[in-house]
Every structure is written in structure tokens, then in C-alpha cells.
């Protein structure tokens, strides 16, 4: 597996321009079967790619007007967004849509040409389970702390967090906490680094980080770093670049990024690059994709890697975007 | 969602391969077009239903297609719910076809695995043969849906949409079939969860599914009762197969407070239970002190001795001196591990943490001996585990163990 990796020069840096070209190429791969099989992730993919480009300092690398057109073409009458035109509305794609519009400063277009902020807020708020406080992904009712975080993320960007019962949602997160300091997808579920990110970030948005057992969570998160520098998502699992984001952003939110070895994590992420064709994979030598490309880059950004825009650990958007959208409202 | 664990290839596609791929795309898109155009006309018939089968076999991640399939079932394939039932209130908001269309004659989904509802069930047969026939047909269709998703789950065991769809079908079974029949189907789901967990012992989708199935089987909706004993026994089985399975240890930790309550365990039997669990994990640690899973479970047991805040504990009635005795015993045993295992940092980590718990229990600061030990363990940790140097330095500072230095104030 490490064949390709060990062949890379030790001093390989971030191949930024290859990554930009890779992301630009994603929508031109219509002669690949995989392109069509992944249409249910198109809007999410646009968010992943565009955010990566902004962090790479290339906000102009995809055309803004076409981006807006595409995002608005995914919106339904009820305010929610599907992953692509003709796909049903879902929390995950709706959050991606809001994040993209925040990123490219186009909320005014949502008002002018889309269904408007208020309708989006109404769609999201309608997915809250008013008994338990958690959120469903769509009308069919799957519940998960991923959706709760998504709702908080998008609603707070829209300035509409007061549409939902924040207190009850916070109670729900508390009910997902485990003895090891981590959180799962629901009450009773095992701690998992990605679910921890969603719970900790939702608590951050609700200004309730005081509820986190920071010492125990920090210890658990720091143990995710394994030999070779990469991070895994649960005990005794393999490392994966995407945990560079889930684990590291969580550590950042509780002020404990010093509890892991940053240099070896940087080196691990860099080893997962495809230096010729761009993109980042889960582990060295594997196929790249835009999801791992984003989370490799956000990881490097949090690690202070030179030449990258700083990323916001709660919203997974550039800090400059969050400063513009939230301004002084950010506690 | 993304590429996981697929080796990067530098292979360039040949002209022939490119043509084949274009052909494949054409077929896929033609099928997709058919599904979409019918769905956009709200043409939720048996025909569309069968087209979704084909499309989902090619792409089980296509969540909209699962939704179209649900709408076909609701609109035309399944019997219409009786007015006032929970179903008649549950028409999905964005489904344009919430008005049920004609019951389709061609909708019978052929399946040899369909389980007819049990004839003796209390709700069957009260409103004549039409309702009974509807129920039988519903049972056939819904069990056939369960069969349909199994090969997809086996191929894509981490696909959220398949698991969700299956749970939705199971919910339809509760709402449309007599309780006894529905219960039988739900009980069989435990077999599927076990099968999936045998294939991948850590699959959190399968663990979550198991938890949801058990919750429903325990609920009044299925006239259930507690399954905490068999579930606890299941974690036993999984742990004995693979000590490193933290998912099973986690599940165990969640079941224990309920288990003891439901056994109406008195203080003595709670204590005996704690002794048994400690013996189990001690034995495991004796052979695998490098395994984080084991240490996390050990930590869970030890936390039961030291913290009571807001959580149910195994032996709440233990007096402080008993707790101290327990913790001392653990510390002695862990120190013994140091004689057999050299260079295992998790041992030092436990010693350090549990020594601090001891101080917390006795509401005191580390004494001189403990201080000396803590300094030594931290020295080992910094040496053996330099990746987490920052954490050891913070511990040194927080425990007041840092060498006094001149500071500029």
C-alpha cells in the first residue's frame, strides 16, 4: 500500500496548483461512470471543492455566476435544497448550499432569485424533533447528530437560529455523551471522531462548550494519532486523512491541538497527495477524491501550514467568511 | 461518499475501455431518465417501482431513488391505510402524490420469502376479507423489500440510505401488520445485525441498527419486554471472539446500569458484578496491554469507583474506604504489568491517571512517594510517547510536578 508513498520525496510540500487543477477538473469528467454515480453528492462536492479553493487562495478558480445558478437550481419550493436538480431536498445538501452562498457572499441572490432565507430556515427548522431536540435529515425521519450540527451551522449563518429550540438540542447532545468524553450519532452510540466534531461544534454555536468534559475528550482525541502521524476515528482503527479535520478541529475547539504531534500529521497529509494529478486520498497511495482533498487542506490550515487561508474550526469555512457573515455576533 | 482504501492507479484507459465506459454511462443515464421523468409526473406505479430496483442495484447511494421507491409503495403498491390510523396522518410533505392512486393489479412483487401474517393475531380478520387480503399483500411486499436490500447491504455495509430504508420498511410492517407477525419480522432483524457484525465487528451502522431494533423490540408497540440480558450476553460473545472490539465493550458499558437495575441487584451482588468485570478486563490486560480498547473499558470501571456525578454507577453504595481498596488493588496490578511489559505507554498513562483519581477520592494532594512516581511515569511517557508531548507537559503543570523555574513576572 505504501509503495507510492515511499517513492515520494521526503520534502514534498503542498502541491497547491495541482490541487486547484484537480478541483477544476471535477466537473469535466462526464465521460467517467463515477461522475454519474456521485450526482447525489454534487452540491456537497461543490462546497468541498470551493472551500478548498478559497483556502488555497484561489477563490476565482470556479466561476461565481455559474456556481450561484447551480446552487439555486437545486432549491425546492419548500426552501430545502437537493444534491442536484431533480434530487430530493435533504438537510445535508441544504447545509452545503447555505455554506456555498455564505462563502461566495451571495445571500442576496438567494433573496432575489431563490426562495429566500426565511424559507430555507423554515425548511431546516421543520426537521427538528421538538420532543428530543435532535434533527432529521429529511421528511423520512432518519435522525443523527450530523443533522443537528448541519442545522445549527446553516441557521446561524442565516441569522435564524432562533427558529429552533436550541436548549432542547443541547440537551440531546448531552444525552449522546459517553464515559470516554466523546459523543456518538445518538444516545447509546459509540464515540466517533466525526460525530464528536458535530456535537462539539454544535455546542460551540450554542455557546455551551462548558458542557464538554475537555480533559477526557482531549485525551481520547489525542490518542487518535497513531504511528506514522495520521489520525484514526475510533480506537484500534486505521488512520484516514478526513480525521485530520474531525479530530483536529475538535481539539482546536477545546484548546488542545498541542496534545498531538503536528509535524508528523502534516507529513502524513502531504504523503497522501497525488503530486502529479492533484488531490488528496485517505491514505498514501490510494485514489484521491474531493472530500479527502478538502479535509487534508483544512487539516493543514488548522496546523498553520504556510500559504493557506485560516479555516474556521466550527464552520469549516474560511475565517474571513465567518467574520464577514457573523461579524460581532460571534461570541 | 468518497474513495476509501482504493489503490491509486496510474493506468490510462484504452480507447476500448473509454468506449465501454461511455456505453455504461448511456445505459445508466437512460434508466435514470426513465425514473426521473415518471417521478416528475408523480407516476408512482409498479413499473416505476421496478425501475427503481434496477437503478438502486447500480447505485444504492442514490437517496432520491429510495424516496421514489417509498412513494411508489405508499401511493400504489401497499393497501390504503384506514382513516384515523397513524399512516393516514403521515403523508410525506414533499410527496406530490400523497393522494393514493388506484391499487395496481400488476403490483404483486414476486417473492418466495414473504411471510404471511399469523392468522391468530388479534387485529386480523376483524373487518372482513378485504382487509385481510390487503394485509397479506402488504406482508408479501414488505418482506420482499427486506429481501431486496440484503445483497445491497452486503455490498455496501456503510451506506446510510440502505439501512434507513430498511428501518422505514420495518416501520411500515408495524403499522400495517398484526403485532405478532410484525414482531416476528423485527426479531429476525437481530439475525441480520449479527450477520453484518460478524462480517465487520466494528461497523457502527450495524451496531446502531442493532440498538434501534432492540429498542423497538423492547417497546410496547411490539408488546415487548426488556432484552438487556440477551444483549449483555451478546456483548460477552463478541468480546470473547475479539477482545479488541471496543464497539462491544462500549455497548456493554451502556447496558450495565440497566442490567443491574432490572436484576434488582442488591449491594452485595453489585459488588460481585464489579469484581467479575474487573477480573475479566484484568485478565485481558494481562495478555494485551497495548490494546486501547481494553484500557477504555478499564477506565469505565474505574470511573464507576471515583465519579458519581449525574451518572448511574455499578456499586453506588460503596464506602470511600472500599473504593480506595478497589483502586489500590488496580494500581498494584497495573504496576505488576510493568514487570512483564517494557515500553508500553498505556500502562504509565493508566498509573498516572488512576493515582490522580486516588487523590481525588481521598481529597488530598499526591504524597511524596506518589509525587516521585508521577514524575517518573511522566518521564517515561515523554520518552515513549513523544507525539503527545504537549499533553504530558500540561499534565506535569496541572499536577504541580513541573520543576520550579525562574519566571519573569
* pLDDT tens per residue across span A78-88: 999 999 999 99
Report A:303-322 residues touching B (Cβ under 8 A). none
pLDDT of residue B131: 78
The pLDDT of residue B92 is 44
Domain count for chain A, please give it.
Answer: 1
Mean pLDDT computed over every residue of chain B: 87
Percentages helix, strand, coil for chain B, rounded to the nearest 5? Answer: 70, 0, 30
Cα angle A157-A82-A329, degrees, rounded to a multiple of 5? 0
- What pLDDT score does A12 carry? 84
What residues of chain A, 165 to 224, have a C-beta less than 8 Å from chain B?
178-180, 185-186, 188-192, 218-219, 222-223
> What radius of gyration do chain B's Cα atoms show?
29
Question: Which domain CATH number covers A215?
Answer: 1.50.10.20
Facing B67 at nearest CB: one of A140, A225, A292: A140
Put simply, the chain B residues between 216 and 255 with a CB less than 8 A from any chain A CB are 244, 246-247, 250-251, 253-254
Contacts 24+ apart (CB under 8 A), B330-333: B330/B278, B330/B298, B330/B302, B330/B354, B331/B355, B331/B358, B333/B282
According to the model, what pLDDT value does residue B105 have? 34
The answer to whether the Cβ–Cβ distance between A190 and B70 falls below 8 Å is: no
Asked if residue B126 has pLDDT above 60, the reply is: no
Is pLDDT of B118 > 60?
no
Kindly state whether A7 is in contact with chain B, defined as any CB-CB distance less than 8 angstroms. Answer: no
Task: Enter the C-alpha cell of residue B389.
Answer: 508531548
Q: B305-340, pLDDT tens digit by residue?
A: 997 666 778 999 999 999 999 999 999 999 999 999
What pLDDT band is residue B120 in, cutting at 50, 70 and 90? very low
Domain that holds residue A221: 3-329
Please report which confidence band the pLDDT of residue B8 belongs to, taking 50, 70 and 90 as the band edges. confident
- Interchain CB contact of B52 with A (< 8 Å): no
Using a CB-CB cut-off of 8 Å, the residues of chain A touching B70 are 140
Residue that has been written with the C-alpha cell 523555574 in this structure: B405
Residues 261 through 280 of chain A touching chain B, CB cutoff 8 Å: 261, 264, 274
Residues of A in contact with B18 (CB under 8 A): 31
CA distances from A153 to A248, B78, B339 (A): 18, 38, 51
| Minimal Cβ distance to A142: which of B2, B164, B303 | B164
Contacts of A80 in chain B (CB under 8 A): 94
- The 3 state secondary structure assigned to B360-406 is HHCCCCCCHHHHHHHHHHHHHHHHHCHHHHHHHHHHHHHCCCCCCCC
**Residue B137 Cα, gap to closest chain A Cα (Å):** 23
Cα–Cα distance for residue pair A21/A209, rounded to 1 Å:
39
Question: What's the average model confidence in pLDDT over B297-305?
Answer: 95
CB contact under 8 A, A219 and B391: yes
**Which helix (DSSP H) or strand (DSSP E) does residue A282 occupy?**
none
Indicate yes or no: CB of A260 within 8 angstroms of CB of B293: no
Q: Between residues A250 and B6, which one has the greater pLDDT?
A: A250
CB-CB contact of A271 with A280 (8 Å) = no
Whether A240 sits inside 8 A of B4 (CB atoms) is yes
Q: Are B94 and A36 an interchain contact pair (Cβ–Cβ within 8 Å)? A: no
Q: Considering only the beta carbons, identify the residue of B67, B202, B253 that sits closest to A179.
A: B253
Q: For residue B127, what pLDDT band results from cuts at 50, 70 and 90?
A: low
Q: How many C-beta neighbours within 10 Å does residue B356 have?
A: 17
Contact A33 B63 (CB under 8 A): no
* Per-residue pLDDT reduced to its tens digit, B369-387: 999 999 999 999 999 999 9
Answer whether A190 sits within 8 Å of B246, measured CB to CB.
yes
Query: What residues of chain B, 251 to 270, have a C-beta less than 8 Å from chain A?
Result: 251, 253-254
Q: Which residues on neighbouring strands pair with residue A136, listed in sequence order?
A: A143
ipTM of this predicted structure: 0.94
pLDDT at B125: 42
* Rounded mean pLDDT, B207-230: 97
**Confidence (pLDDT) at B310:** 61
Q: Give B169-218 as a DSSP string.
A: HHHHHHHHS-HHHHHHHHHHHHHHHHHHHHH-TT-HHHHHHHHHHHHHHH
For residues B175-202, average pLDDT: 96
B298 with B285: CB under 8 angstroms?
A: yes
pLDDT band at B128 (very low <50, low <70, confident <90, very high): low
* A185·B61 Cβ contact <8 A: no
pLDDT band at B114 (very low <50, low <70, confident <90, very high): very low
Please, is A288 exposed, middle or buried when counting C-beta atoms within 10 Å of its C-beta (0-12, 13-18, 19+)?
buried
Which positions of chain A have pLDDT values less than 50?
A: 1-8
B36 to chain A, any CB pair closer than 8 A? The answer is yes
Amino acid at each position: 500500500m505504501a509503495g507510492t508513498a515511499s517513492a515520494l520525496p521526503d520534502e514534498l510540500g503542498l502541491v497547491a496548483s495541482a490541487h486547484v487543477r484537480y478541483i477544476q477538473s471535477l466537473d469535466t469528467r462526464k465521460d467517467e461512470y463515477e461522475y454519474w454515480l456521485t450526482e447525489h453528492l454534487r452540491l456537497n462536492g461543490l462546497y468541498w471543492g470551493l472551500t478548498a479553493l478559497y483556502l488555497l487562495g484561489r477563490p476565482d478558480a470556479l466561476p461565481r455566476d455559474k456556481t450561484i445558478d447551480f446552487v439555486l437550481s437545486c432549491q425546492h419550493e419548500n426552501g430545502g435544497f437537493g444534491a442536484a436538480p431533480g434530487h430530493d431536498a435533504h438537510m445535508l445538501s441544504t447545509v452545503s448550499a447555505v455554506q456555498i452562498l455564505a462563502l461566495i457572499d451571495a445571500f442576496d441572490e438567494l433573496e432575489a432569485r431563490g426562495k429566500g432565507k426565511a424559507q430555507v430556515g423554515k425548511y431546516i427548522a421543520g426537521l427538528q424533533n421538538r420532543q428530543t431536540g435532535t434533527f432529521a435529515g429529511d421528511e423520512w425521519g432518519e435522525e443523527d447528530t450530523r443533522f443537528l450540527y448541519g442545522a445549527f451551522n446553516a441557521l446561524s449563518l442565516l441569522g435564524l437560529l432562533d427558529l429552533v429550540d436550541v436548549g432542547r438540542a443541547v440537551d440531546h447532545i448531552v444525552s449522546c455523551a459517553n464515559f470516554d468524553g466523546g459523543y456518538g450519532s445518538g444516545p447509546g452510540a459509540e464515540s466517533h471522531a466525526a460525530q464528536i466534531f458535530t456535537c462539539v461544534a454544535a455546542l460551540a454555536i450554542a455557546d455551551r462548550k462548558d458542557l464538554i468534559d475537555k480533559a477526557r475528550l482531549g485525551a481520547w482525541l489525542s490518542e487518535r494519532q497513531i504511528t506514522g502521524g495520521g489520525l484514526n476515528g475510533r480506537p484500534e482503527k486505521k488512520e484516514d486523512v478526513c480525521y485530520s479535520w474531525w479530530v483536529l478541529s475538535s481539539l482546536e475547539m477545546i484548546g488542545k491541538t498541542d496534545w498531538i504531534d503536528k509535524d508528523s500529521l502534516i507529513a502524513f497529509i502531504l504523503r497522501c497527495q497525488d503530486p502529479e494529478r492533484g488531490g488528496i486520498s485517505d491514505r498514501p497511495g490510494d485514489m484521491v477524491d474531493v472530500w479527502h482533498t478538502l479535509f487534508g487542506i483544512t487539516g493543514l490550515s488548522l496546523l498553520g501550514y504556510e500559504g493557506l487561508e485560516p479555516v474556521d474550526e466550527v464552520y469549516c469555512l474560511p475565517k474571513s467568511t465567518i467574520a464577514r457573515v457573523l461579524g460581532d455576533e460571534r461570541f | 461518499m468518497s474513495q476509501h482504501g482504493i489503490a491509486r492507479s496510474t493506468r490510462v484507459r484504452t480507447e476500448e475501455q473509454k468506449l465501454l465506459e461511455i456505453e455504461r454511462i448511456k445505459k445508466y443515464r437512460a434508466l435514470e431518465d426513465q425514473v426521473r421523468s415518471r417521478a416528475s409526473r408523480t407516476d408512482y406505479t409498479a413499473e416505476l417501482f421496478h425501475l427503481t430496483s434496477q437503478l438502486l442495484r447500480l447505485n444504492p447511494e442514490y437517496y432520491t431513488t429510495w424516496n421514489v421507491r417509498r412513494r411508489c409503495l405508499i401511493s400504489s403498491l401497499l393497501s390504503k391505510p384506514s382513516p384515523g390510523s397513524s399512516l393516514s396522518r403521515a403523508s410525506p410533505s414533499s410527496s406530490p402524490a400523497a393522494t393514493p392512486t388506484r391499487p395496481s393489479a400488476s403490483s404483486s412483487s414476486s417473492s418466495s420469502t414473504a411471510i404471511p401474517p399469523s392468522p391468530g393475531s388479534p387485529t386480523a380478520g376483524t373487518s372482513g376479507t378485504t382487509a385481510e387480503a390487503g394485509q397479506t399483500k402488504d406482508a408479501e411486499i414488505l418482506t420482499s423489500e427486506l429481501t431486496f436490500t440484503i445483497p445491497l447491504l452486503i455490498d455496501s455495509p456503510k451506506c446510510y440510505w440502505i439501512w434507513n430504508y430498511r428501518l422505514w420498511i420495518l416501520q411500515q410492517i408495524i403499522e400495517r401488520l398484526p403485532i405478532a407477525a410484525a414482531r416476528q419480522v423485527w426479531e429476525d432483524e437481530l439475525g441480520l445485525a449479527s450477520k453484518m457484525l460478524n462480517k465487520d465487528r466494528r461497523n457502527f451502522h450495524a451496531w446502531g441498527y442493532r440498538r434501534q431494533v432492540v429498542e423497538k423490540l423492547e417497546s410496547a408497540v411490539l408488546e415487548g419486554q426488556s432484552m438487556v440480558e440477551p444483549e449483555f450476553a451478546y456483548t460477552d460473545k463478541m468480546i470473547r471472539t475479539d477482545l479488541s472490539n471496543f464497539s462491544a465493550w462500549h455497548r456493554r458499558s451502556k447496558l450495565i446500569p440497566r442490567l443491574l437495575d432490572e436484576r434488582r441487584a442488591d449491594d452485595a451482588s453489585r459488588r460481585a458484578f464489579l469484581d467479575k468485570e474487573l477480573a475479566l478486563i484484568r485478565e485481558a490486560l494481562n495478555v494485551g496491554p497495548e490494546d486501547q480498547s481494553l484500557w477504555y473499558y478499564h477506565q469505565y470501571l474505574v470511573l464507576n469507583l471515583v465519579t458519581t456525578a449525574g451518572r448511574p454507577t455499578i456499586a453506588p453504595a460503596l464506602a470511600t474506604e472500599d473504593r480506595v481498596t478497589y483502586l489500590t488493588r488496580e494500581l498494584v496490578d497495573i504496576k505488576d504489568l510493568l514487570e512483564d511489559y517494557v515500553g508500553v505507554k498505556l500502562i504509565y498513562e493508566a498509573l498516572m491517571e488512576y493515582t490522580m483519581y486516588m487523590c481525588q477520592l481521598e481529597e488530598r494532594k499526591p504524597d511524596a512517594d506518589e509525587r516521585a512516581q508521577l514524575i517518573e511515569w511522566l518521564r517515561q511517557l515523554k520518552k515513549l510517547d513523544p507525539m503527545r508531548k504537549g499533553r504530558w507537559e500540561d499534565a506535569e503543570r496541572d499536577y504541580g510536578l513541573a520543576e520550579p523555574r525562574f519566571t519573569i513576572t
